[in-house]
Amino acid sequence: MDPAVSAHPDSIDKSPNAKSKPRQRVTTRRLAKMRQQGERIAMLTAYDYPMAKRMDAAGVDIVLVGDSLGMVVQGHESTLKVTMDQMIYHAEMVGRAVDHAMVIVDLPFPEGQLSIDRTLEAATRVLQETRCQGVKLEGGSEQSARIEALVAAGVPVMAHVGLRPQSIHVDGGYRMHRDRDRLVADARAAQNAGAFAVLVECVPPEIGKGITDALEVPTIGIGAGPHVSGQVLVTPDVLGMTAGHVPKFVKQFGDAGAVIDHAIADYVAEVKDAKFPS
């Protein structure tokens, strides 16, 4: 039986006095072991302390401080306007909230596209100024030397192949990527350069499987089908709080947006009617 689904939620003792096994910090070695044992990896994005705290308590394995904050927090049309200082600001909050999950921080545009020295400076800021444990870098084969330099400097790197949001102007927009040979080559190059995992975005399920089969490190899919080592989604999408377009591959697991809307509307009504405070 798949270890990821061996325990049904209803069989778990959720009483206040129930004793649970202490959770250890998720590390690159732990993730590699999960891949080897077939244990699925759960990853979500976080941008602030309260949400990150809840994710960590819920058992999320990897928390990503994503540059997606440019769209879902700041309201921009892409991730390109997010700065390194902004990433550090959000990463510092998230890092303080998390005790068990591994926390990874996106290197925003253009920190991963200019000189390797600049990328090193940005990545080391993440480890020095936050409690986060690594960075995510968009790109594959063309990023091999950069990944190698980061790992040599002591910075764990998650690579990112397939749809790369920081390259939407080159790619001509957000689209499915189908060049299997190129995608596998990119993922292998990232692994060989020292990446501890590869995020695979917007590829057909059979290509997601092909990339996973070609690698030894974990693969994390987002719109890449079920045959990968783990999954990641943007948390506002999961909670029904996204304003605007939601990708087809997203599954909404709750409707927190509706709960918030009702709560705020009730508050406004009670203030206007002089019912609060009583």
CA–CA separation, 165 vs 33, rounded Å? 29
CA–CA separation, 101 vs 95, rounded Å? 10
Q: How far is CA 130 from CA 26, 70, 261, in A?
A: 17, 19, 33
Q: Tokens 């009617």 belong to which residue?
A: 273
Q: Tokens 């993730």 belong to which residue?
A: 31
The answer to whether residues 230 and 61 touch, using CB atoms and an 8 Å cutoff, is yes
What tokens does 20 get?
């649970």
Q: Which is nearest to 218 in space by CA: 149, 139, 158?
A: 158
Hey, which bits of 186-238 come out as E strands? 197-201, 219-222, 230-233
* Residues found in the chain: 278
Of 92, 142, 201, 270, the catalytic one is 201
CA–CA separation, 49 vs 66, rounded Å? 14
201 has catalytic annotation? yes
Q: Is 167 exposed, middle or buried (0-12, 13-18, 19+ CB in 10 A)?
A: middle
What tokens does 154 get?
């002591």
What tokens does 239 get?
């909670």
The answer to whether residues 157 and 128 touch, using CB atoms and an 8 Å cutoff, is no
The residues that are catalytic are 201
